[in-house]
């Protein structure tokens, strides 16, 4: 379904080094709009494999994608796929000059997160995940159960 290069060590890569068939994803057209922009992002965006973060995040300073070493080595391919789609939305938001980590709002209320999750949920549905599986994907350790349900509601997951 989706290839992930798990044979990596700590260091810097390009997106296609870790996700060799990512350019086949229809979600990229939703994020970047042109084939030229997609190719530019996939070949120029730095991906840093490190012990921090535990999962994935985009550096608000330079737009690099940080991937947790254990995450890339051990997580299910579908989770990694959805995570990189989510983070690629953040890459575009960074390029648009948005603050990815606006601390004045709760994580689930940040428009950058809602927009990134909207693309991710659309792609999760396209690849056949059920709303229950998507709801499970949306449950992350840094939000409360109430915030989890609020996020799911905003994304029309099990609503």
Whether 6 maps to a domain, the answer reads no
pLDDT in 10s for each residue of the chain, 159 residues: 689 999 999 999 999 999 999 999 999 999 998 999 999 999 999 999 999 878 999 999 999 999 999 999 999 999 999 999 999 999 999 999 999 999 999 989 999 999 999 999 999 999 999 999 999 999 999 899 999 999 999 999 985
Distance, in Å, from the CA atom of 69 to the CA atom of 53, rounded to the nearest integer, reads 8
Whether 159 maps to a domain, the answer reads no
Per the structure, the complete domain to which residue 51 belongs is given by 11-154
Distance, in Å, from the CA atom of 150 to the CA atom of 132, rounded to the nearest integer, reads 15
> Which residues make Cβ contacts (< 8 Å) with residue 36, sequence separation at least 6?
none
Q: What is the DSSP string of the chain?
A: ---------SEEEEHHHHSTTGGG-THHHHHH-SHHHHHHHHHH-EEEEESSSSSEEE-TTT-PEEEEHHHHHHS-HHHHHHHHHHHHHHHHHHHTT--TT-TTS-GGG-HHHHHHHHHHHHHHHHTT--HHHHHHHH--TTS-HHHHHHHHHHTTS--
pLDDT of residue 54: 83
Distance, in Å, from the CA atom of 40 to the CA atom of 24, rounded to the nearest integer, reads 15
Whether 95 maps to a domain, the answer reads yes
Whether 66 maps to a domain, the answer reads yes
> Which residues make Cβ contacts (< 8 Å) with residue 151, sequence separation at least 6?
108, 113, 114, 117, 138, 143
- Which among 143, 140, 144 is positioned nearest to 120, based on CA atoms? 140
Whether 110 maps to a domain, the answer reads yes
Evaluate whether 83 touches 56 at the Cβ level (below 8 Å).
yes
Whether 4 maps to a domain, the answer reads no
| 103-118 residue pLDDT tens | 999 989 999 999 999 9
pLDDT of residue 21: 93
Evaluate whether 155 touches 118 at the Cβ level (below 8 Å).
yes
Whether 30 maps to a domain, the answer reads yes
| 72-104 residue pLDDT tens | 999 999 999 999 999 999 999 999 999 999 999
Whether 22 maps to a domain, the answer reads yes
The answer to whether the predicted template modeling score (pTM) of the entire model surpasses 0.85 is yes
Number of domains in the chain: 1
């Amino acid at each position: 379904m989706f290839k992930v290069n798990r044979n990596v060590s700590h260091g810097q890569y390009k997106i296609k080094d870790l996700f060799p068939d990512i350019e086949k994803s229809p979600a990229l057209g939703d994020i970047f709009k042109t084939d030229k922009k997609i190719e530019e992002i996939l070949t120029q965006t730095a991906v840093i494999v490190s012990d921090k973060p535990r999962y994935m995040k985009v550096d608000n300073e330079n737009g690099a994608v940080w991937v947790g070493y254990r995450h890339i080595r051990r997580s299910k391919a579908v989770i990694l796929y959805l995570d990189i789609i989510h983070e690629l939305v953040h890459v575009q938001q960074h390029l648009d000059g948005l603050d990815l980590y606006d601390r004045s709002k709760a994580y689930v209320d940040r428009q950058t997160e809602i927009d990134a999750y909207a693309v991710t949920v659309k792609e999760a549905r396209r690849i056949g995940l059920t709303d229950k599986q998507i709801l499970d994907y949306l449950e992350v350790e840094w939000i409360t159960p109430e915030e989890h349900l609020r996020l799911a509601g905003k994304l029309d997951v099990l609503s």
